[in-house]
Structure 1
Amino acid sequence: MTDLESADRLTEARVALAEAMALHEQGDLVAAERRYRAALAQDYRPADVLPLLAGLLGRLSRPEDALHAWDQLLAIEPDHAVALHEKGLTLHWLDRTEEAIASLERACALDPDNATALGNLGVVLADAHRNLEALRTFRRALALQPDNLHLRHQVRRLGSGAVPFWHIPMMNDAPRNDAFEAAIKAAIGVAGPEARVLDIGAGSGLLSLMAARAGARKVVACEMEPMIAEMAQQIVAQNGYAARITVHAKPSTELAVGAELDAPADILVSEILSSDLLTEKVLDTFEDAHRRLLAPDALVIPRAASAMGCLVASENLAGYAFVGDVSGFDLSAFTAFAPQRLPIHGTMTGWQRLSGDVELVRLDLTQKKHDATLARLSVPVTASGRAIGIVQWMHIDLWDGVTFDNHPDGYHDGGWLQVLHSFPEPIDVVAGEVLDIAAGHDRITLILWPLPRAAD
């Protein structure tokens, strides 16, 4: 090629790039793409043209083509932080999440003070359910831009998403806290300050802090949600007990004597009871602890828990549990899909008692093994009405003379809710008669089922 031909091609490339940029600015993206490619065909300033072309292709919703352009740029400049950042975002667009994270991590390593890149990496990590890494990444970005409301929102969103709505009111439940602390003090008074304490499901670390304040010198806590475990360790340190309390970000089933515990625990404290008693795998957790993690004579707090309840009628709650005629159509068959358990809160509080309090199921948490159980329970009816199910609450036995419950007549503001266990269909009952139900559990849920009634 002669010098004249080279000059002509260079001129053509410059013109093509100028035209492409003008068309791009005017919004004629299709024509701009053609002119960018004309410039690239002359191998004219590819490191400058490829980012423009890739951005344009993204606006045209052609992520595969945009990705190819970013890869072409990275073949020229492998450490191009912007290209790595944009490639990561494009990969995320294409649902290639792990590749997106790898590209964004490289971009952030090359440009560690880029809060935007860190924020985007945090978003992709969160989408991959790597929440603790996402939270730490957002915090790094927020340290660079403390007033960035988007980043502040992401930190709060991730933290609050890891905590169920009832956790804060439960932490603020003074009667519950006082009952647990009284039991913990009594246990340490018996076992002594050298007793090893194991706290399963530590949450904020409150029960561990109570044990340390009561004199326990060694507390091992575990919390399976990593973000909550990290916060618990921070709270422990802020309160001056870091030397006595260690929080592990794992479930108790992954703890071992000789690793996280230097010896079997002498005291177990745990508050993993759910509003309907069993759904947080209470029995599996306690059995595993008895088998592997506790001394044979370990003290257990709580030592027992009961599901209490009463037969109820409620037109309001029936609207949550049953369906019949709707807009002139019979939809009653859909009741088969209705929830068996409904938390009682807000507007779902209007119900009429049709029986006295009845103990439905009792768990002895000091036992080392629990089998599924089902037994006939006769419930005396004290008021006539249309029974839609049983409202259930809990009573827990923490220590001699130390108990706590969320009885609906006197407990409304804590973390535990009462639960409606709806019947398959409403049952008309009359005061003075007895309604027989099957009451028990399958180890993970309560079973409360009305039994067939004798024919009149």
Structure 2
Amino acid sequence: MPTNGSPYRLGAALLESLAQEMSALAEQASALLRTPPESLSLDADISTQIVRRNVPRWHFAMLNDTERNEALVAALERGIPAGATVLDIGSGSGLLAMAAARAGASRVFTCEMNPLLAEVARNVVDAHGLTDVITVISKPSTALDAGRDLGGPVDVLVSEIVDCGLIGEGLLPSVRHAREHLLAPDGIMLPSAARLYGKLVNSEAVLKLNQVTTVSGFDVSLMNTLATRSHFPVRLDTWPHRFLSEAAPVLGFDLARDALEPGERSLEFLATADGEAQALVVWFELDMGNGIVLSNPLDNPRSHWMPGWVPLEKPVLTKAGETASLRLRWSDFTLRVSL
């Protein structure tokens, strides 16, 4: 069995990887600066490289998720009072900002930390003749100042910034900051609450997407030092799998009142079958108000949000009818589960 090398060498390799990435970015920036403005085109190789690096493909799947879009637009139509001022965190294409304007908001601010997406959102908003109502700000929400950027605290906060594991896109720190610094004391939050549910699961096929042992007679298990230890998306219905427990609540936040800080808690799952659980598969619910709940349940493969796969630090043996106890730890961005 191979053994891990020096942690100092691993640290040096991490730094070297960062240096290579920074060097590639510097080369792209230099090439872009040498390109005459009149020659700039998104069809150019340098533009293609930058877009590929900076704009995840899931934006297109998200915008084509009809169920998601209709639920969000309905929530804004029912939840935004006429004449309200709105802050939408994460502009993307500008869709939710435009839906907020159509719902009756008098002023909509939408912030986007990705400059490319922010510029596209400005163009989309302009094409719909909504620049008098909607302002696109190319900043993360945590860099906004209510007085300088928004003309004062807003009436409504829209923060649909979730991933397969709920928190991976920065929901917690973004809402913490916005709630304290950007939203009026009696302001409306959309969503107002968020919940995460899970089941214990066994799937050798999915396990092999993030783990390796022997290949052609060679032990290459040290590759597992680079495996993802926190949650990641997986289209579970495309892989053989077996659920080993009932569904149970994993995590829940009252976004208006809870501290929204990193933490940990105990989890208990009632086993439905004997087996070896390798992960916790999770899905979320967002309470958008007025009876509208946005979710990515396991039985809805049409959702662009895949379920989240949270690897267990060690496999857990389950016995039907007995309870399996685990420990969940969450940071601002990641979920991890241990015994």
TM-score interval, smaller chain? 0.7 to 0.9
Could you list the runs of 5+ residues in structure 2 that have no partner in the other structure? 1-19
TM-superposed CA distance for 1:335, in Å, is: 4.3
Look up the match of 1:351: 241
The 8 Å contact of residues 237 and 301 in structure 2, kept in 1 or not, is answered as no
User: Which structure features the higher share of strand residues?
Assistant: 2
The 8 Å contact of residues 316 and 348 in structure 1, kept in 2 or not, is answered as no
TM-superposed CA distance for 1:345, in Å, is: 3.1
TM-superposed CA distance for 1:125, in Å, is: 7.2
For the pair 1:447 / 2:339, whether they are aligned, the reply is no
TM-superposed CA distance for 1:135, in Å, is: 9.6
| Structure 1: distance between partners of 2:183 and 2:34 | 34
TM-superposed CA distance for 1:177, in Å, is: 1.0
For the pair 1:166 / 2:68, whether they are aligned, the reply is no
| Structure 2: distance between partners of 1:126 and 1:362 | 44
For the pair 1:185 / 2:50, whether they are aligned, the reply is no
Look up the match of 2:281: 391
Change (3 A) 1:352 1:346: closer
Task: Choose from 15, 25, 29 the match for 1:128.
Answer: 29
User: Which structure features the higher share of helix residues?
Assistant: 1
1:417 maps to amino acid? M
Could you list the runs of 5+ residues in structure 1 that have no partner in the other structure? 1-94, 99-122, 144-149, 452-456
Look up the match of 2:261: 371
TM-superposed CA distance for 1:257, in Å, is: 2.1
Change (3 A) 1:292 1:135: farther
Deviating more after overlay: 255-264 vs 289-298: 255-264
Look up the match of 1:405: 295
TM-superposed CA distance for 1:400, in Å, is: 2.9
Look up the match of 1:197: 86
TM-superposed CA distance for 1:338, in Å, is: 2.7
2:194 maps to amino acid? A
Question: In structure 2, the residue corresponding to 1:216 is in which secondary structure?
Answer: coil
TM-superposed CA distance for 1:291, in Å, is: 1.2
The 8 Å contact of residues 212 and 245 in structure 1, kept in 2 or not, is answered as yes
Larger Rg: 1
TM-superposed CA distance for 1:339, in Å, is: 1.7
Following superposition of structure 1 onto structure 2, how do residues 156-305 of structure 1 map, counting pairs within 5 Å?
A: 156-188=48-80, 191-192=81-82, 194-305=83-194
The 8 Å contact of residues 282 and 310 in structure 2, kept in 1 or not, is answered as yes
Change (3 A) 1:126 1:280: farther
Look up the match of 1:140: 38
The 8 Å contact of residues 138 and 151 in structure 1, kept in 2 or not, is answered as no
Question: In structure 2, the residue corresponding to 1:290 is in which secondary structure?
Answer: helix
| Structure 2: distance between partners of 1:186 and 1:389 | 38
1:127 maps to amino acid? Q
| Percent of matched pairs sharing the same residue | 35
| Structure 2: distance between partners of 1:371 and 1:181 | 29
1:445 maps to amino acid? T
TM-superposed CA distance for 1:410, in Å, is: 1.4
The 8 Å contact of residues 141 and 151 in structure 1, kept in 2 or not, is answered as no
RMSD: 3.0
Look up the match of 1:380: 270
| Structure 2: distance between partners of 1:234 and 1:375 | 45
Greater RCO (CA < 8 Å, at least 6 residues apart):
2
2:28 maps to amino acid? D
